[in-house]
Amino acid sequence: MLLKTLYLSLDPYMRGRMNDAASYAEPVAIGGVMTAGTVCEVIDSNLEGYSVGDVVLAGSGWQDYALSDGEAVRKLDPSAGPLSYALGVLGMPGFTAYTGLLQIGQPKAGETVVVAAASGAVGSVVGQIAKLKGCRVVGVAGSSEKCAYVTDDLGFDTCLNYKDADFAARLASACPDGIDVYFENVGGAVFQAVLPLLNVWARVPLCGLIAHYNATSLPDGPDKAPLLMRNLLTKRITIRGFIIFDHYADFPVFFEEMSGWLRDGSVRYREDMVESLVAAPEAFMGMLEGRNFGKLVVKVAERSD
């Protein structure tokens, strides 16, 4: 079938695909199509089960049109809500938040949960689910505007700007009982401030390290690995990395529950929508500097009438 791209998802993992280095996925070849999740309209079809006008979730990348044999494609229900949500709260980032927090973080009512990149696609959902589970939730974000959104609109208990000079001290006073779950999206200075506050038996879902994605070498300075290892040992801390594509067998359970939370208003969601494929590279580079505010999506084309 021939697909026309309507929406294109921009996600931090794409930065890793631009490195010629061994990772969990092959890098994009020079001259190849940049990887991305897309929402597409079927323009022509010889495939059973797909008709002209259907809307599908695909992985057709940064291009206006694509041919598909139907592999790794899922039909979307246009009456179920905004189609672009399949790239965000009802798709990969929302599922990442749900799985990382609930399976690895295992939050319990009354515990303190700290969430990095708290206004973003994953972090915003993590914090809201932690609130639904009865936790005290502290967000960390890169501007006062983002922090205001995280507390006022998303309902986190508090949110701190990691760019403030006294961030580490503020985090310590915002977490008087220490930190039971730290949802790691960034690494860098935020993790440095979190580490001494982690409680005995703390859990750290290691979801992303965006502060380091543009790095070409390790930072200078003392080797802090022994400090980290001693903390892990003496406080019996679990840090577990995860890549969401290992978990898709559980997607239907997530989809059902998240759809309900969106319908009843328990989870709120914000998109940062950029117009036209031409704007994608600049928007992508901006995301690595925190210029996006919410789930970054490119609107590539209108749906046909």
Ligand X SMILES: NC(=O)c1ccc[n+]([C@@H]2O[C@H](COP(=O)([O-])OP(=O)(O)OC[C@H]3O[C@@H](n4cnc5c(N)ncnc54)[C@H](OP(=O)(O)O)[C@@H]3O)[C@@H](O)[C@H]2O)c1
The site for ligand X (CB under 6 A) is made up of 11-13, 93, 96, 117, 119-123, 141-143, 146, 162, 185-186, 188, 190, 207-211, 242-244, 287-288, 290, 292, 295
CB under 8 Å, gap of 24 or more: what pairs does 219-228 form? 227/195, 228/195
Give the nearest distance from C-beta 222 to ligand X in angstroms.
20
Q: In terms of CB distance, is 146 or 299 closer to ligand X?
A: 146
Instruction: Specify the residue, 76 or 283, whose C-beta has the smaller distance to ligand X.
Output: 283
Q: How far is the CB of 179 from ligand X (least distance, A)?
A: 17
The partner residues of 194 in beta bridges, in order of sequence, read none
Q: Evaluate whether 150 touches 109 at the Cβ level (below 8 Å).
A: no
Radius of gyration, alpha carbons of the chain:
20
Q: CB neighbours (10 Å) of residue 33?
A: 12
CB of 234 to ligand X, least distance (A): 27
Q: Is 270 exposed, middle or buried (0-12, 13-18, 19+ CB in 10 A)?
A: middle
Which residue, 73 or 125, has its beta carbon nearer to ligand X? Answer: 125
Pairing outcome for strands 136-141 and 238-241: unpaired
Task: Give, for 273, the enclosing helix (H) or strand (E).
Answer: strand 271-275
Smaller CB separation from ligand X, 96 or 112? 96
* Residue whose pair of structure tokens reads 């990691």 in the numeric block: 162
Residue 277: which of 2, 23, 33, 25 has the closest Cα?
33
Residue among 133 and 295 whose Cβ is closer to ligand X? 295
Q: How far is the CB of 282 from ligand X (least distance, A)?
A: 14
Please say which residue, 23 or 276, places its beta carbon nearer to ligand X.
Answer: 23
Q: How far apart are the C-alpha atoms of 183 and 171, rounded to whole Å?
A: 14
Task: Name the minimum Å distance from CB 253 to ligand X.
Answer: 17
242 vs 251, which CB is nearer to ligand X? 242
Taking the complex as a whole, the smallest distance from the CB of residue 37 to ligand X amounts, in Å, to 11
Output the smallest distance, CB 158 to ligand X, in A. Answer: 15
Nearest-5° angle of CA 24, CA 14, CA 73?
80
Cα–Cα distance list, 35 to 10, 90, 244 (Å):
9, 19, 16
